[in-house]
Chain A
Amino acid sequence: MPLLNCARSMDSNSSLETELKKARQELAGYKIELHQTRGYLQCILQNSEDMIFATEVGGILISFSKGGEKVLGYSFAELIGTYIKDLAEDPVSFERFFTSSQDEGPTVQLDIPFRHKEGGIVHCNVSLINLMNRESQRVGTVGVCRDITLWKKIQEDLVRIDRLAEIGRIAAGVAHEINNPLAIISEASGWAGVVISDAKGLSPEDREELEKATKEISHQTKRCSSITHELLDFARGSTPALIEFDIHDVLRDSISFLKPELKHTPIEIDTQFMSGPLLMKSDPKLLEQVFVNFITNAIHAIRSKGEDKGYIQIKTLSTNSDVEIGFEDNGTGITEEDQKKIFQLFFTTKAPGKGTGLGLSISQNIVKKLGGTITLDSKVGVGTNFTVRLPLS
Chain B
Amino acid sequence: MKIIIVGLGGVGSILSSKIARYLAYSTKEMTTLWLVDGDTYETKNYERQEFDLLGNKAEIKAAQLSSEFANLSIISYKEYINADNIFDVITNKSIVFLCVDNHKTRKIVSEYCSTLQDIVLISGGNELTDGNVQIYMRKGGVDKTPSLLAYHPEIQTPTDKLPSEMSCEELASSQPQLYFANLGVATIMCWAFYNIMFSKKPITKPEIYFDMLTMAISTQTRTVQEK
Does B associate with A? no
